[in-house]
Amino acid sequence: MKIAASLLATLALVASTVVAGPTNGKNKHHHQKYLRISKKVLRADKVPFIPHSGSGLFTNWVGMNLDFKYVKPFVNMVNSTASLNNNTALISRGEAHITMITPPEYDNILSKAGVTIKELNAIATNKKRPLQRAKFSIPCLGRVQAVTKPDNVFQQSWQLIVNDDKKDLLRYRQDVFKLFVKKGGNPALFDPEDFMPHITLGFKTRDLFVEDGVYKRRNACIAKVVAV
């Protein structure tokens, strides 16, 4: 808790996005600091769905596209604070999305049952329940760190943690699961609830994953975020 508080204090000093929260009833002069993000980032329906497909490994995946201009200030904020990024600028992809189906899920599980990326995109753009209209919230700024093997290199990745408040994101994965099973896929190999929605801000050398021993859920939160 002391580490998280220290990081939040550092962020508050450098970020113009910090706003004051409600006062503490015991001390009217005490304010909890929050990081602020434009609520427009939550309106994914204002930007188009972008298909991601290719002929090679790790080229097929599904993501909910977001407007990067509302996320970019957080990338700049972390990069402007040497104590947070260990004097190394984050590698940013220059775009923002919430991954719904990862490349390994498609390559190693879904495609082997005959599920195509075209079918996954069709589910995402279904007129009755398009993925871009899914509701979500951003509770916090997250950071994960690990020493990767076998090179023993210290890595860190920053992200905005996402809450699937209305279960819209889960419903997309449940629809994918139904298609997977319908095509004869082994249901034990794909769990629609086993995903960690987040928005990647950047990373030191490469991104970090569950395989590296990190979990990008609320356990990774270091600072609260409010959408205004």
Render pLDDT for 148-164 as a digit per residue (tens, 0 to 9): 888 898 889 999 999 99
Lowest mean pLDDT among 49-58, 73-82, 85-94, 147-156: 85-94
pLDDT of 10: 53
pTM of the model: 0.84
Average pLDDT of span 52-75: 94
21-38: pLDDT as tens digits: 343 444 444 445 789 999
Q: Domain locations in the chain?
A: 38-227
Q: Across the strands, what pairs with 91? A: 203
- What is the model's pLDDT at position 85? 56
Over residues 87-115, the mean pLDDT reads 91
Q: Give the model's confidence band at 14: pLDDT under 50 very low, under 70 low, under 90 confident, else very high.
A: very low
CB distance 177 to 102 below 8 Å? no
DSSP per-residue string spanning 78-126 = HHT-HHHHTT-PPB--S-EEEEEE-HHHIIIIIGGGT--HHHHHHHHT-
Give the Cα separation of 118 and 124 in Å (integer). 10
CA distance 184 to 208: 32
* Spatial separation of the C-alpha atoms in residues 95 and 98, rounded to whole Å: 11
Mean pLDDT of all residues belonging to the chain: 86
